[in-house]
Amino acid sequence: MSATAAAASKATTVKKDSVPEIIAASMVGTAIEFYDNYCYSIASASYFGVIFFPGATKANPAVGTMLAFLTFAVSFLARPFGSMLFGHFGDKVGRKTTLVVALMTMGISTFLVGCLPGYEQLGMLSIIILCICRACQGVGLAGEWSGAALVATENAPANKRALYGSFPNLGAPIGFFCAYGLNLLLDTTLGPDKMQAWGWRIPFLCSAVLVIIGLYVRLHMSETPIFRQAEAEDRVSKHPLRDLVPYWKEVLLGTAAMGITYTLFYVLGTWSLSYGVKVMKPAFTQNEYLAMQMVSVVFFAIFILVTCVYSDRLGRKTVLIATTLATLVFSLFAMQSLQHNPVTVMLFLCVGFALMGGLFGPCGAYLPELFPTHVRYSGAGLSYNLAAIFGGAFAPTIATALVQATGTVASVGWYMAVMAVIALIALFLIKESKNKDYTE
């Protein structure tokens, strides 16, 4: 037996992590990622206009909110660079080491946001530092999801790859619940004035505890068997980004297909909070709207699992097309329910988050399956994070501006409908890959 064949044989017999270990290793980072992002989402919707843009907020609160939402977008703009950086090392040196570094980058940046003085103390420098922290957070976030998805799917049996791919995606509702739950608890305990003064910092500082837990889990996980086999067979790319070039169509179409996922999510989670608390007449209190969002996110988690099960049975593309069509209908007719009526708002949020779960769940297997092992981290990560810019980075700002310009929330629905149509076109154009080397 040749040395290469012997190494390959050894690699394929290496013991995999147990299913609970796979769940913990893939889910913990994305839960922290989304917790960090949601904390920033709430702060930008509720507090950062006054703290970092006091002049603009006094003149026009909507303008102050839009400026705060622009700092929210900085993270997304940094994501492609993070994808290329962590994708390069994830495909070259392995998933495990790369995920540990990504988690630390993300966690440190989030913690520093909680320590940052406002405009009254540092002036314009406070905004610059905030944007730098947000950019570093985006770089770390970019390496997180794709690596976590590979930890799950590269350990999965072929007929359960979407189900395993749901593990990191379930980190999203967990992070959402933790972030919104902590903010709701703090807002109830401290009150609006203290939250505006200093309470908003606590969720960012608490992320340090989550990062320590995440690092412990990540340092004890094993490298994925598929990457170990690729190493043994000398199939690991020395230049992943260069080797990704032939797959540019998959990157672009994957980006377009995922765009509506981000648009829907940040319209539901970020813009609607700002609209419901600040613009709606009469408005909900912060506590009331956060509580409704926390209830509705349960549907997000349920439909991640449901659509992943059906994705393994019927195919990723079939499930994604059906859910995107449903999202198109939702976009055209659901916005009229955004009025001061808890029943109609709950219906809007619950149906919207159910659709979000249906879109987000299958992508954990769908995007990685578009690329072979040697460029999978780079390709899936770049598609995912370009979609974050295309669909989500400016969604709260665009939605706020549309309502300001038209005076009606229906315009936000039309914006989401356009994104849904683009996603449908991409899904019909892209070929569902059957990569032969994506096996257990």
Question: 201: pLDDT confidence band, cut at 50, 70 and 90?
Answer: very high
Q: 37 lies in a domain?
A: yes
Q: What is the pLDDT of residues 109-165, one digit of tens each?
A: 999 999 999 999 999 999 999 999 999 988 888 888 778 877 788 777 878 888 888
3-state SS, residue 128: helix
Q: 193 lies in a domain?
A: yes
Q: 108 lies in a domain?
A: yes
pLDDT of residue 369: 87
CA 318 to chain CA mean position, Å: 22
Sign of CA dihedral 278, 280, 282, 283: negative
Amino acid, res. 296: S
pLDDT of residue 229: 77
Q: 3 lies in a domain?
A: no
Question: 432: pLDDT confidence band, cut at 50, 70 and 90?
Answer: low
Q: 438 lies in a domain?
A: no
CA dist 41 and 58 (Å) reads 21
Portion of the chain with pLDDT greater than 70, in percent: 94
pLDDT of residue 222: 75
Enter the tokens of residue 379. Answer: 């390709």
CA dist 237 and 146 (Å) reads 17
Range among 17-21, 45-49, 92-96 with highest mean pLDDT value: 45-49
Please provide the average confidence, as pLDDT, over all residues in the chain: 86
- Give the CA diameter of the chain: 77
Burial class (CB in 10 A: 0-12, 13-18, 19+), 371: buried
Whole-number Cα distances in Å, 140 to 74, 108, 135, 388: 13, 10, 9, 14
Q: What is the pLDDT of residues 215-245, one digit of tens each?
A: 888 777 777 777 777 777 777 778 788 889 9
Q: What is the pLDDT of residues 258-315, one digit of tens each?
A: 999 999 999 998 899 889 998 898 989 988 998 999 899 999 999 999 999 999 999 8
**For residue 250, what is the domain's CATH number?**
1.20.1250.20
Range(s) of the domain holding residue 190: 18-429
pLDDT at residue 7 is higher than 90: no
**C-beta atoms surrounding 253 within 10 Å:** 20
Quick one: average pLDDT of 373-399? Answer: 88
pLDDT at residue 90 is higher than 70: yes
pLDDT of residue 333: 92
pLDDT of residue 88: 78
Question: 1: pLDDT confidence band, cut at 50, 70 and 90?
Answer: very low
pLDDT at residue 440 is higher than 50: no
**Closest C-alpha to 139, from 88, 196, 204:** 88
CA dist 311 and 297 (Å) reads 21
Long-range contacts of 323-328 (CB under 8 A, 24+ apart): 323/355, 323/358, 323/359, 324/260, 324/359, 324/420, 324/423, 324/424, 324/427, 325/420, 325/424, 326/355, 326/358, 327/260, 327/264, 327/355, 327/359, 327/416, 327/420, 328/417, 328/420, 328/421, 328/424
Enter the tokens of residue 346. Answer: 């709950």
Enter the tokens of residue 433. Answer: 């890959």
Q: 134 lies in a domain?
A: yes
**Closest C-alpha to 291, from 245, 337, 349, 336:** 349
Quick one: average pLDDT of 309-323? Answer: 93
pLDDT at residue 93 is higher than 80: no
Question: 16: pLDDT confidence band, cut at 50, 70 and 90?
Answer: low
pLDDT of residue 130: 94
Question: What angle do the packed helices 19-46 and 61-92 form, to 10 degrees?
Answer: 150
pLDDT at residue 185 is higher than 70: yes
The pTM (predicted TM-score) of the whole model is: 0.81
Q: 347 lies in a domain?
A: yes
For 165, which DSSP code?
H
**Phi, psi at residue 118, to the nearest 5°?**
-90, -170
Number of domains in the chain: 1
Q: 203 lies in a domain?
A: yes
pLDDT of residue 20: 77
pLDDT at residue 2 is higher than 60: no
